[in-house]
Amino acid sequence: MGSGKSTIGRLLSEATGWPYVDNDELVLRAHGATPRQLLAERGETAMRAAESSALALGLEVPEPAIIGAAAGTILEEGDRDRMRDGGIVVWLRAAPSVLAERAAGSEHRPWLEGDAESWMRDTVADRDPLYASAADITLDTTSDPPDESVQELQRRLESTGRCP
């Protein structure tokens, strides 16, 4: 959340011509509600299940494609396995203070209504090892502008030898 998945995903899509598929759009299409609405109306378990199903739908898009997965999908071992098996996993990471600053105030981000930076710091500490275990490429987005991050990501993707 706030790492640049949507921004960098869309820019990478423009640069490569590969389709970009966003988790929130898949959840809305498949469940008729946003992740935030699902959380409010049906609870966290239903929202997480919807995000997992959105990841599975995204991974069905023919390769090459860019899939913007929900940050919380990393919490489920099955989702981590799906990501690893589904292609090249890119972890966009940034400092918790930067993530909180970028993400706070967005209506679709329910977790940040209180002390956003504290929540982000705790969440990053819990999830970083999981992201690291799934990632083929780690890109720090703390300070680089999105277009520079996309150029670096393209360079790294090309170096894997697994991209068309």
Name the residue ranges covered by the structural domains of the chain: 5-158
Residues 145 and 10 sit within 8 Å (Cβ to Cβ): no
pLDDT number for residue 161: 83
Give dist(CA 60, CA 43) in Å, integer.
26
Q: Is the pLDDT of residue 22 over 90?
A: yes
SS3 for 51? helix
pTM of the prediction? 0.90
Give dist(CA 147, CA 89) in Å, integer.
19
Residues 23-74: pLDDT tens digits? Answer: 999 999 999 999 889 988 999 999 999 999 999 999 999 999 999 999 999 9
Hunting for tokens 């959105």 — which residue is that? 54
Can you name the CATH fold of 5-158?
Rossmann fold (3.40.50)
pLDDT number for residue 90: 97
pLDDT, the chain, mean: 91
Average pLDDT over residues 10-25: 95
pLDDT number for residue 157: 95
SS3 for 25? helix
SS3 for 62? coil
Residues 78-137: pLDDT tens digits? Answer: 999 999 999 999 999 999 999 888 876 555 555 556 677 888 899 999 999 999 999 999
